[in-house]
Amino acid sequence: MARESVNGAARQSKSQQAYQWIKERIARNEYTAGYRLVLGAIAKELGMSVVPVREAIRQLEAEGFVTFEHNVGAQVAMVDEAQYRDSMLALSVLEGATTALAARRLSADDLREARAINRQMVATLDHFDPLLFTTLNQQFHAILFTKCVNARMVALVQAEWARLGHLRSSTFSFVPGRAHESVCEHDAIVDLIEAGAPLAEIENAARRHRTATLDAYMAHEHPGDTFGLPA
């Protein structure tokens, strides 16, 4: 089956096919942190030589998804907790502000699309797929912030989203219960925008939504600790 999937991607080089195949399994948490990536076994699974798999591993290493240790080989990178925390806190401030600044420019169609995506997210909860949920989550938030009047702020938010991707940080993989809370908060943010709520209220709601995700991850990793994260 893996060979059929890979062969179907005719326009991709073999190294890119291997890259996508491995990255998807990391994102779905099939290859968990510390999982050893045996090049020969992966090459056999994909029906290709070791050379393109090695190139794929190098690309994933450059992006922070994979680490390489002497006498150990390639393995899935551990989540860098400090970088994750810093990116999420930065994103909470940036995305809260951009969401507020975009609010008055969002059309009824934009809000309907955001609600439709959130319904898709709700539909995934019974058979939870962290990768799909995270993808839909990014689409939802992109609708709410990309019409911000400050293009530089939008670029910064997008950069932090990309950074989180490089950190392999789908919190929903580690704390799936957070997903149920998240979709409810999405509806609340859209309700505020639709009602023409004060921009400060919209900003605070968007910011709290982001820090709540960080809180959930930190509480899962360090139960009983308090971190004093901003509300």
Span 150-164, pLDDT tens digits: 999 999 999 888 777
Domain 14-76 matching CATH 1.10.10.10: the answer reads: yes
Question: Would you state the pLDDT for residue 26?
Answer: 82
* CATH code 1.10.10.10 region(s) in the chain: 14-76
| Confidence label for 167 from pLDDT (cuts 50, 70 and 90) | low
- Pairwise pLDDT comparison (204 vs 29), residue with the higher score: 204
Question: Would you state the pLDDT for residue 25?
Answer: 87
Contact 103, 206 (CB under 8 A): no
Arch. (CATH architecture) of 81-221:
Up-down Bundle (1.20)
Tell me: pLDDT of 107 over 90: yes
Tell me: pLDDT of 94 over 80: yes
Question: Would you state the pLDDT for residue 152?
Answer: 97
* CATH code 1.20.120.530 region(s) in the chain: 81-221
Q: What is the mean pLDDT of the chain?
A: 86
Q: What is the DSSP letter of 73?
A: E
- Helix or strand (DSSP H, E) at 185: helix 177-194
Contact 39, 57 (CB under 8 A): yes
| Confidence label for 6 from pLDDT (cuts 50, 70 and 90) | very low
CA distance 28 to 53: 19
